């Protein structure tokens, strides 16, 4: 491991907070039914259970890579819970809680993690005839900053067509250094696009700390340059996230335009299973942020209010374990997508020389040859 570590700068903790780490509250708790609060808790249980299962599968060689949202789950869930049926959700890879809240099929998620294409998954895991109405969930792009202009454009299409839908997009704080982020916010401000952009600040852009990403005091204030309102909340406080995003979503739906919200949290684990954070940071900050765990503090609140008891908690955990294990096995049973399916979606005209050459290279390799030795630029030797 590296001997030199980044010096971490803890962010200011003057953000909006309702639920304290000890489960007590300050200010006003948003109006949410008892049933909905239990639903939130169940989604948090499902999220941690699923991610633990996926990581074990990765360690066994079933998956090539796995990422975790542990310690950040409140940002995704609190924001997604503020949406309505028909809205658009643009999650990245640390918002599993958001897609589980809206009942995304876990078997399809698992099949996707195994590298299958959406078309192939649809063929082998068709949805039941009757699917409850929900939000529209988009797959995430590799370049996460690209989500901002996509969400802004999606929201603008709804606005121009007279639909009262809102688009909600997530990016990390590292994505605010990408041009797409700024292009999208500029359009959102000028065109008053009905969208909400969440900057989930987990303080690490893979191996680069937030203090090396920007000289700005906060990531939320980047919205000022585009004339957009902005908020900064405790990203480990599900009430603060829900309350703030709900107001922004309602404002967008009423024609008030876009809002940028920074949810301050921390990536307590490695970037993903291919990373080793011990090479570039100490565990001091991670240990501190573990004391601010979003699931533990929400659980304390539910216990304190008599909404959750140990028997209900145990039943939820057992139900999640059983359901997720069954759905994961269904996802794993999907046969691998044929490799040459990557060539199915040529957008215009006939495939050119380069595409045909790549097809030939793949065919050579699938036949047991070596495309680097057995082929020339004119095809097979």
Catalytic residue numbers, as ranges: 267, 271, 280
The pair of three-digit structure tokens given for residue 325, joined into one six-digit string: 């294990």
- Note the helical H segments in the chain: 34-59, 73-80, 96-101, 106-113, 118-124, 147-160, 179-191, 238-253, 284-290, 294-304, 310-332, 353-366
DSSP bridge pairs for 375 = 380
Q: What single DSSP character describes residue 338?
A: P
The pair of three-digit structure tokens given for residue 378, joined into one six-digit string: 């004119």
Cβ–Cβ < 8 Å for 28, 229: no
Q: What single DSSP character describes residue 68?
A: -
Cβ–Cβ < 8 Å for 210, 6: no
- The whole-angstrom separation of Cα 17 and Cα 7 is 26
Cβ–Cβ < 8 Å for 15, 234: yes
Please list, residue by residue across 124-142, b when 16 or more beta carbons sit within 10 angstroms of its beta carbon and e when fewer do. Answer: bbeeeeeeeebbebbebee
């Amino acid at each position: 491991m590296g001997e030199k570590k980044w010096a971490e700068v803890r962010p200011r903790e003057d953000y909006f907070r309702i639920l304290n780490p000890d489960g007590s509250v300050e200010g006003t708790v948003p109006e949410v039914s008892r049933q909905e609060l239990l639903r939130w808790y169940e989604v948090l249980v499902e999220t941690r259970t699923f991610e633990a299962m996926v990581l074990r599968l990765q360690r066994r060689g079933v998956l090539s890579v796995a990422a975790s949202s542990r310690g950040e789950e409140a940002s995704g869930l609190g924001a997604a819970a503020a949406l309505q049926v028909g809205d658009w959700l643009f999650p990245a890879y640390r918002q599993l809680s958001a897609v589980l809240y809206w009942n995304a099929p876990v078997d399809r998620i698992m099949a996707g993690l195994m590298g299958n294409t959406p078309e192939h998954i649809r063929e082998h895991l068709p949805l039941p005839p009757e699917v409850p109405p929900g939000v529209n969930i988009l797959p995430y792009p590799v370049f996460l900053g690209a989500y901002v202009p996509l969400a802004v454009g999606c929201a603008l299409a709804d606005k121009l067509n007279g639909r009262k839908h809102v688009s909600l997009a997530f990016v990390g704080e590292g994505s605010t250094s990408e041009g797409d982020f700024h292009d999208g916010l500029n359009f959102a401000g000028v065109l008053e696009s009905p969208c909400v952009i969440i900057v989930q600040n987990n303080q690490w852009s893979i191996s680069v700390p937030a203090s090396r990403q920007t000289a700005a005091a906060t990531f939320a204030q980047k919205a000022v340059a585009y004339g957009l309102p902005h908020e900064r909340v405790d990203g480990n406080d599900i009430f603060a996230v829900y309350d703030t995003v709900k107001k922004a979503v309602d404002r967008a739906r009423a024609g008030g335009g876009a809002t940028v919200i920074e949810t301050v949290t921390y990536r307590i684990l490695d970037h993903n299973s291919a990373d080793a954070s011990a090479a570039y940071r100490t565990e001091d900050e991670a240990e501190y942020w573990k004391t601010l765990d979003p699931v533990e503090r929400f659980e304390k609140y539910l216990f304190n209010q008599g909404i959750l008891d140990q028997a209900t908690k145990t039943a939820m955990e057992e139900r999640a374990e059983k359901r997720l294990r069954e759905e994961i096995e269904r996802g794993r049973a999907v046969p691998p997508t044929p490799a040459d399916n990557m060539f199915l979606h040529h957008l215009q005209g006939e495939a050119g020389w380069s595409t045909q050459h790549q097809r030939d290279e793949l065919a050579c390799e699938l036949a047991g040859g070596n495309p680097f030795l057995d082929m020339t630029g004119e095809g097979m030797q």
